Structure 1
Amino acid sequence: MQALDEPRMSDTFAGDAAIVTGASKGIGSGIATKLAEQGASVVVNYRSSEKRAESVVDEIVDRGGEAVAVQADVSDEDDVAAMVEATVDYFGSLDVMVNNAGMTTLGPAEEIDIEDWRRVVDVDLTGVFIGSRAAGRQMLSQDDSGAIVNVASMMGEMGFHMRAPYCAAKAGVINLTRTLAVEWAEDGVSVNALAPGFIQTDITDQTQDSAGYTDIDIHRRTPMARYGTVEEMANCVSFLARDDNYVTGEVLRADGGWVSDAWRYRENRA
């Protein structure tokens, strides 16, 4: 575990401990860094990318934060239980749980292998339930309760070509979030979801290659005419994880207006 040795940028989450799953890259690493900047001690979860996870930890520590990398497969109950236990051992509590880890597979529904379907659902939906349940059990046992933020997707609210398992799983995350929020609200545990649209990450180019779209396609279809950024998604999670906003059971869609605009494709947009 790395120790805090410099002042933090803010104290929004001072004294809190957070887990961010799938935090070795992309949106997850941005969320972990943001929470640390705001005072949280952060568990940077990874499944297989230890080197990348340690790089995120190093970045947090270099900025004056506190973090530790913890390996766990989010679809494995024992792994997740051990990660929550380790968090409490390291930091004394679990106050924020961000279920961000996810995966997808692309292909026509009639051709998707059932094992690919199950793996996406295991990680993207069952993994969110396992993480929420483990975190919820810990938070319900604490005096100060806590906040759970599940990373869903705008694709959980709409059909999307070639992504049947992902869309189905993310739709499940949205209603799971609402259900857990209702169950745990009186006990002081908020449960919310973030539903990103197309976000610029280090795997954007790879996704484009396999799905057959370009930056220009996304810009033309999105009312804000650009990708979202990792920093913007981290800011959204930071808001949802706060304990002073009277928000639970909410799905915050951050998609640049995509879902609100039922159909758009402007040739003159670049």
Structure 2
Amino acid sequence: MTFIDESAGSPGNCPGWALVTGGSGRGGAAIVRALHARGLSVVIHHTPLSLDRASALQRELEAVRPGTVDLWSADFAAGDFSIPAWLASKGVTVMVCNASAYRGSRVGDIERAQIDIAIHVGAHAGLLDALRPRPGQSPPLQSVVAITDIAVDRAPRGHVSYTTAKGALQSMILALANDWAPHVRFNVVQPGTLPYPEDWTDTARENKIKETIPLGRIGTFEELAGAVAYLAIDATYVTGQVLAVDGGRSRQLY
């Protein structure tokens, strides 16, 4: 694939639509902004509880380029989850599997495990099947980036089903890099520590984490989004790879 940035005269602008799951806030919103800035129109997936944030982001981006943002509300863990026909026929060229839920769990918590698998793996697998390239479809899906976690390789205590589900998502993406080649590229971004939630109060834990990061600081959502945009658009000869965006923390034992 070759992408031409008509505004700069250099590779960079990918036409078509991107789908970003969990795209209404935090890292997802940063990814939406980054892809939109590169010329893509964007479908922002959000949960019903995040409609206000998603609508505000839509207004922000459509003030720049009208008609380039659609919203899709869906609870990936709901029993009646389904993929609308309009989305399957949208002509999505880039998909970012970002929707996530970070909750504590232990091995016997079957209900939590089912929710985590549904959100991180099941819904994304269903979307990929709906969007997979088919004869006569134009433009076809070309690039998929999944957001997992450095915890996939060094699991924290007390988050068994989250870590398991993220690991399953990563394995699925790497398997599809073979199965769907050469038509679709599949890559993974593993974030490390990014800005804490607004209700975060554990400064002692925060300082301890910072000590384990070789670059001496936590990352930004914009840095995460930059890595996603690189793999989704620019890295046309890269597939089946895992990129840690963690300031070097995954090189430390913790």
Fold match by TM threshold 0.5: yes
Instruction: Give the root-mean-square deviation of aligned CA atoms.
Output: 2.8
Q: 1:222 to 1:173 in 2, by over 3 A?
A: same
* Structure number having the greater helix percentage: 1
Matches within 5 A, 1:11-90: 12-48=12-48, 49-64=50-65, 66-75=68-77, 79=81, 81-82=83-84, 85-87=85-87
User: What is the alpha-carbon distance in structure 1 between the residues aligned to residue 11 and residue 29 of structure 2?
Assistant: 19
Distance 1:243 1:256, change over 3 A: closer
What fraction of aligned residue pairs are identical, expressed as a percent? Answer: 25
Shift of the alpha carbon at 1:27?
0.7
Per-residue deviation at 1:79?
A: 4.8
CA contact (8 A) 1:11 1:39 kept: no
The alpha-carbon distance between structure 1 residues 80 and 235, as it changes in their structure 2 partners (threshold 3 A), is farther
Where in structure 1 do 4 or more consecutive aligned residues deviate above 6 Å? Answer: 7-11
Quote the residue 1:3 is aligned against: none
Normalising by structure 2, we get a TM-score of: 0.85
Compared CA separation, residues 190 and 15, structure 1 to 2 (3 A): same
2:246 matched residue in structure 1: 255
Over residues 23-56 of structure 1, what are the superposed CA-to-partner deviations in whole Å (9 max), with x where a residue is unaligned? 1111111101110011000011111111110011
The 1-side partners of 2:79 and 2:135 are apart by: 17
Aligned partners of 2:77 and 2:118 also within 8 Å? yes
Instruction: Measure the CA separation in 1 of the matches of 2:159 and 2:92.
Output: 34
Deviation at 1:160, TM superposition (A): 1.0
Q: Deviations over 1:129-184 (max 9, x none)?
A: 22322222569944554111111111111221111111111111111111011000
C-alpha distance in 2 between matches for 1:198 and 1:138 = 38
Q: Secondary structure at the match of 2:95?
A: strand
Report how many residues are paired: 246
The residue identity in structure 2 corresponding to 1:223 is P
Unaligned runs of 5+ in 2: 1-5
State the distance in 1 between where 2:72 and 2:93 align: 17
1:195–1:252 CA contact under 8 A, matched in 2: yes
TM-score (norm 1): 0.81
More moved, 213-222 vs 148-157: 213-222
Partner of 1:4: none
Gaps of 5+ in 1: 1-6, 264-270
State the partner residue of 1:121.
Answer: 117
Instruction: Name the CA distance, whole Å, in 1 between partners of 2:27 and 2:82.
Output: 20
